[in-house]
Every structure is written in structure tokens, then in C-alpha cells.
């Protein structure tokens, strides 16, 4: 599996939208939902730590489209992927070739 750096992505939404969604999802009253939101890192800190920020104030379909576009952008360069997969195969093939040559050597005989 190719090694690549991690991209930190954050889906940002307005505080009103976040509160509305939290109350609807978990069945919380507004005060309990605000306490839960306040216990988390602020949106500004999350945005500052993120490499990519996705606006999440739209519909679920819009969010999926934005995620798809981001995934296309984060997809590794195809040649790099092939090189990462083929390099270990090449090393293995070279090692097998060396072992084959060593095994195929004629037995040393002493001639007197």
C-alpha cells in the first residue's frame, strides 16, 4: 500500500445549522445541545487545523458532491501508485533471480 501523508478535512457549518442538526439527530433540547457544542473545539480552531474545509450548510447531496470533488483532488498520481506497487515486486524478482542462480550453480568438484 502506498504511503502518503494524511490530509485533515473538516466539514464546517454555521452554528445555527449545527445546533439545529444536533437537536434533530439526538433529540436534545437547545441548552443541552449548546453545552455539547461548547465542550468541543471551536470552529475557528478546527478550521485552522484542517488542510481542506468543506462547507456543510447545504443539502446532503451537495455535501456528497463536494466530498467526491475533494477525493478526486486527493487521489494519488497514477504513475506514483504504480511505482509504489511495482518497486517491491521488482526487488522480490531480483532476489528470486539471485537465489535461482545460487541454486543452479554446478557443484564444485575437485580434480586431481
Cell of 37: 457544542
Cα 100 to Cα 112: distance, rounded to the nearest angstrom:
30
Question: In a 10 Å sphere around its CB, with 0-12 CB exposed, 13-18 middle and 19+ buried, how is residue 33 labelled?
Answer: buried
* Residue closest to 64 by CA, chosen among 37, 44, 72: 72
Q: Could you read off the pLDDT tens digit of each residue along the chain, which spans 112 residues?
A: 444 567 889 999 999 999 999 999 999 999 999 999 999 999 999 999 999 999 999 999 999 999 999 988 887 667 766 667 777 877 777 888 888 877 876 665 555 5
pLDDT of residue 25: 93
The sign of the CA dihedral 47, 65, 14, 35 is: negative
The CATH number of 9-104 is 3.40.50.300
pLDDT of residue 66: 94
pLDDT of residue 97: 83
| Residue ranges of domains in the chain | 9-104
Amino acid at each position: 500500500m502506498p504511503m502518503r501523508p494524511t490530509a485533515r478535512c473538516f466539514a464546517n457549518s454555521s452554528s445555527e445549522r449545527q445546533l439545529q442538526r444536533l437537536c434533530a439527530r439526538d433529540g436534545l433540547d437547545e441548552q443541552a445541545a449548546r453545552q455539547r457544542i461548547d465542550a468541543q473545539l471551536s470552529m475557528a480552531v478546527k478550521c485552522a487545523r484542517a488542510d481542506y474545509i468543506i462547507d456543510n450548510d447545504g443539502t446532503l447531496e451537495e455535501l456528497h458532491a463536494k466530498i467526491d470533488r475533494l477525493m478526486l483532488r486527493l487521489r494519488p498520481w497514477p504513475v506514483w501508485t504504480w511505482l509504489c506497487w511495482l518497486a517491491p515486486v521488482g526487488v522480490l524478482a531480483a532476489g528470486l533471480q539471485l537465489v535461482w542462480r545460487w541454486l543452479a550453480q554446478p557443484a564444485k568438484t575437485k580434480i586431481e
